[in-house]
Amino acid sequence: MGALKIGEDVKGDSVSLKLAGPIDEDANFPNIDLSSFKEITFDFLSVTAINSCGIREWIRWIGNIKPDSKVTYVNCPKVIIDQVNMVDGFLPVNAKIASFFVPYFCESCDNLDTKIYSDPSGIASGAVKVPPQVPCSKCKQPAEIDVIETKYFKFLKK
Amino acid sequence: MDSDRLTYMNAIAKKLEATTNFVVQNLPADEVIGLIVAKGATSIIQENSPDFELEKQFVKTIEQNASSFFSDPLKTILGASLIDQTQINFKESVQKSETIEKVKAWLSGVKGAKRLDDAIYLIVDELFTNAIYNALPFFVGLNDGLDRREKVDLTDRKTCKLFVGYNERRLILGCSDSFGSLNIVKLITQLHSTYLKGIAGSIKYGAGGAGVGSRLMFDSCINFYIGVREHEQTTVALGLPIGPNARGIDTSFKNIHLIRSNE
């Protein structure tokens, strides 16, 4: 478990940022001016955790994104969706979530799976339909959705 | 600290001088904290909680002997239902990752704990940083904790211990330090602020912690135990649901206990 790493891919006035590791007090955000980009994509696929200082540093870092920039969050794990749901400003105004993970837990073999959801029309309309059960990737027994849906999908109404 | 805030905190402190227990039904988290602020509740337990009997027993125990919580928190919380426990000592800020990994490794053998990985990480992280960065400065009378990027070593001063235990339905994560510097009123005031102003509106951007860690922990748990023996010991513990019915437990309905002892 090391410090947060962020990969940057700049193409003209667009930037794609891939985050890996925990977002906490040790996070060193790249010294790039987010206000200079019209399109910004944050990829959270490899984010492992976030704590209270991480939330503060994140909000501080994204604070200078221009309101008319197109901001997209992709591959959001549960820890990121939880913050989007709880903390105003964690997802900038007008930003969109393009894909996120839904956790499933198998009582039979104690396995935790995650399934990605990326249906743009479902996300846009707020009518996300995810199966309440999926076959466990380890034992094939039914694994049940491991979130309270009314709470977890609250961000779709933001 | 401005004088209005100080007056407000003094008023809460006054209400909390007496031990006042409340049994409630389906009271949401914000109203639980509101009840502490308004009525000086020192224990609030939810009647429909699966742990209602254990919670009642806990209240009874600390009424008779609050010091038992400080000497053996896991036994005081879980009683005879405690299945297994461990403890990890730490004294340096650089031990955070290692401490989190030790907890997760120990819990890897506990059925149902894997689904709590995110909450466990968060809670251990926040407990650890509070103990390492806040306990000492608050002990010596400072208002803010240390900068979270500073390297801190408590060697030759005090030590901190993280403890973990579980029964069939509940996992307890907690931390004790030997400073006893946690200001319960300040913590409750800050928690209350996160409900009034939102988490983002309550974040502190100055030195020290962000000021919202207690809210993040509170959101993750169903039981919150905050104990202080002034200048002697702070013990904070949180309960999370495990076991076959854990998924169905709504973490909005929380039990909370504020425990003070002069013994």
Q: Is residue A58 part of a domain?
A: yes
Q: Is residue A68 part of a domain?
A: yes
Q: Using CA atoms, how far apart are residues A51 and A56, in angstroms rounded to an integer?
A: 9
Cα dihedral across residues B101, B105, B108, B110: positive or negative: negative
Give the list of residues 6+ apart from residue B136 with CB closer than 8 angstroms, or none: B146, B152, B154, B157, B158, B179, B181
What per-residue confidence (pLDDT) applies to B156? 65
When the pLDDT of each residue in chain A is averaged and rounded to a whole number, the result is 93
Q: Using CA atoms, how far apart are residues B117 and A79, in angstroms rounded to an integer?
A: 10
A79 lies in which domain range? 5-98
Closest partner residue to A56 (CB to CB) among B129, B203, B244 is: B203
> Could you count the other beta carbons within 10 Å of the beta carbon of residue B136?
20
What per-residue confidence (pLDDT) applies to A1? 59
Q: Is residue A116 part of a domain?
A: no
When scoring B118, B195, B220, B221 by the number of chain A Cβ atoms within 10 A, the one with the most, hence best to mutate, is B118
3-state secondary structure at position B219: helix
What per-residue confidence (pLDDT) applies to B1? 61
Q: Using CA atoms, how far apart are residues B233 and B24, in angstroms rounded to an integer?
A: 30
DSSP class of residue B204? -
Q: Spell out the long-range contacts of A116-122 with Cβ–Cβ below 8 A and sequence spacing 24 or more.
A: A116/A75
Q: Is residue A140 part of a domain?
A: no
Q: What is the pTM of this model?
A: 0.93
Give residue-wise pLDDT tens across range B123-182: 999 999 999 888 777 776 666 777 877 888 887 667 899 999 999 999 999 999 999 999
Q: Is residue A19 part of a domain?
A: yes
Report ipTM (2 d.p.): 0.91
Distance from CA of B64 to the nearest CA of A (A): 36
Task: Find the helix or strand (DSSP H, E) in which A86 lies.
Answer: helix A78-86
Which whole number is the average pLDDT over A37-45? 97
Q: Do A25 and B203 touch (CB under 8 A)?
A: no
Distance from CA of A15 to the nearest CA of B (A): 26
Q: Is residue A122 part of a domain?
A: no
Give residue-wise pLDDT tens across range B21-69: 999 999 999 999 999 999 999 999 999 888 899 999 999 999 999 999 9
Q: Is residue A106 part of a domain?
A: no
The CATH number of the domain holding residue A70 is 3.30.750.24
Number of structural domains in chain A: 1
Q: Using CA atoms, how far apart are residues A82 and A91, in angstroms rounded to an integer?
A: 11
Provide φ and ψ at A43, rounded to 5°: -110, 115
Q: Is residue A33 part of a domain?
A: yes
Which whole number is the average pLDDT over B78-89? 96
Q: Please, which residues bridge with residue A105 across strands?
A: A112, A144
